[in-house]
Structure 1
């Protein structure tokens, strides 16, 4: 068990787990950690189950104070405990200890607390989705003054070493053909795209026009990874907080295994597609 108090954090810090499944027919987004692999690693470092809630943060770092003895891990950013740089392993905090976490090296970083973080649970998930006030602390992003408390202990303190996380300037993403693939006049794999700065948890906007025989479709089901093509030809990759239906052609879908890799490409970074 453990308890941390948020001293300061950015607007994109929230509690996330694997997300909500089986409820899209009700118009409820999946949500969940944008980089599942990094979330799992953070949990492993403190001996948690893979799907335990973690703190996801982006764009800015955080500062927290321990209110009880706690075992903590930080993945995707540098961490300082009482001014001392910590290694890529879990570490112990005692009451009064101050943890400072830097801006993520890529886009998203994760903090895990040994035990299960207590939060609001909606549709079997603690994932924060602010528009519906689902999950997290009162369904909202984390803010100064919030208390994060975990119940139970990690199975044991783990000593997993992991490589330093560095943003990749050029990333290849694997896609499969979507229902409206035949609308395209050129192959996505023949072009390079740039991540637009307006990208977020709902969708990643790509700069780089794709020629297509554009036709609106009836509002149809979409899931994270679907690549929509609006009339301007600039693709949008739907991400975890995306809507459940849409009327833009669904030209392709990013494979599940590459969604985390795509989420970690910074604005201005370049991506290319490999079609299977």
Structure 2
């Protein structure tokens, strides 16, 4: 089996899979990897199915030691082994090797481990939801001293064809109309917004522009990751993977699923605009 020991863990380093589904009626969020495309690449490199759990890390890098021989991959960040830069995204670590990742190129990077990572399963998923203590390791962020174990004995590194997303600035995010689209007095694609530093796995707050609207509170209604809420100040909030299941702000739109990972990777202070499809 593969086994890594966490030496250093940055903020929001958690175990994530594709998320938990079928429980929103009980108020349980979806959670799961913020960038499912990069999660899939990390798994493919170590020969795993795309849905296997990975380690998601944000803002800062991580440092880990191989306790046993372990196949690993790093996507969305650079890596070093025993202090030497490594060009390949996937490799086999020998016992005692130390792996370091850089800060992610965007917001989130992914560490894949050959085999299925052992983690706490709640409601059909091992995705970590810190606010309720679900999934991962005791439902919390990773910390120094934690062990990441997998069930794979045979170590293989695979090749997969992926390239960095072509992103221009401001970043174009495609959206669909929401149930309360009618409260808008102007089209949202006339504005450019910046990502607020307070954004997190629950939601991305947008600043810098305001949308003229006839905003009013609505009866608390269902929301999902990607829902665009519009508070009275006219500055939208895009709900993300750890979002609540209902909300009382008008739902003016929904980010298309294909652009959710791209949106998650836009760094604080960078700009986006909406494009209606």
TM-score, normalised on structure 1?
Answer: 0.97
Query: 1: distance between equivalents of 2:191 and 2:224?
Result: 24
Corresponding position of 1:23:
23
Q: 1:131-179 deviations in whole A, cap 9, x for unaligned? A: 1110000100000000000013579420225435787542100000000
CA contact (8 A) 1:71 1:93 kept: yes
Corresponding position of 2:106:
106
Query: 2: distance between equivalents of 1:39 and 1:78?
Result: 15
Corresponding position of 1:258:
259
Query: 2: distance between equivalents of 1:36 and 1:154?
Result: 25
Q: Which consecutive segments of 4 or more residues in structure 1 shift more than 6 A?
A: none
Structure 2: where are the runs of 5+ without partners?
Answer: none
Query: 2: distance between equivalents of 1:252 and 1:131?
Result: 26
How many residues align structurally? 276
Question: Does residue 93 of structure 2 align to residue 128 of structure 1?
Answer: no
Q: 1:13-63 deviations in whole A, cap 9, x for unaligned? A: 000000000000000000000000000000000000100000000011000
Corresponding position of 2:230:
229
Query: 1: distance between equivalents of 2:124 and 2:189?
Result: 38
* Partner SS, residue 150 of structure 2: strand
TM-score, normalised on structure 2?
Answer: 0.96
Structure 1: where are the runs of 5+ without partners?
Answer: none
Question: Does residue 185 of structure 2 align to residue 188 of structure 1?
Answer: no
CA contact (8 A) 1:64 1:100 kept: yes
Query: 2: distance between equivalents of 1:155 and 1:221?
Result: 44
Query: 2: distance between equivalents of 1:104 and 1:183?
Result: 38
Q: 1:170-203 deviations in whole A, cap 9, x for unaligned? A: 2100000000000100100111111111100000
CA contact (8 A) 1:31 1:241 kept: yes
Question: Quick check: 147-156 or 251-260, which moved more?
Answer: 147-156
* Partner SS, residue 42 of structure 1: helix
CA contact (8 A) 1:106 1:165 kept: no
Corresponding position of 1:273:
274
CA contact (8 A) 2:31 2:128 kept: yes
CA contact (8 A) 2:218 2:248 kept: yes
CA contact (8 A) 2:71 2:114 kept: yes
Query: 1: distance between equivalents of 2:43 and 2:155?
Result: 11
Residue 89 of structure 1 and its aligned partner are, at CA, apart by 3.0
Query: 2: distance between equivalents of 1:96 and 1:169?
Result: 42
> Are residues 36 and 153 of structure 1, via their aligned partners in 2, closer, same or farther at CA, if it must alter by over 3 Å?
farther
Query: 2: distance between equivalents of 1:77 and 1:154?
Result: 25
Query: 1: distance between equivalents of 2:21 and 2:157?
Result: 30
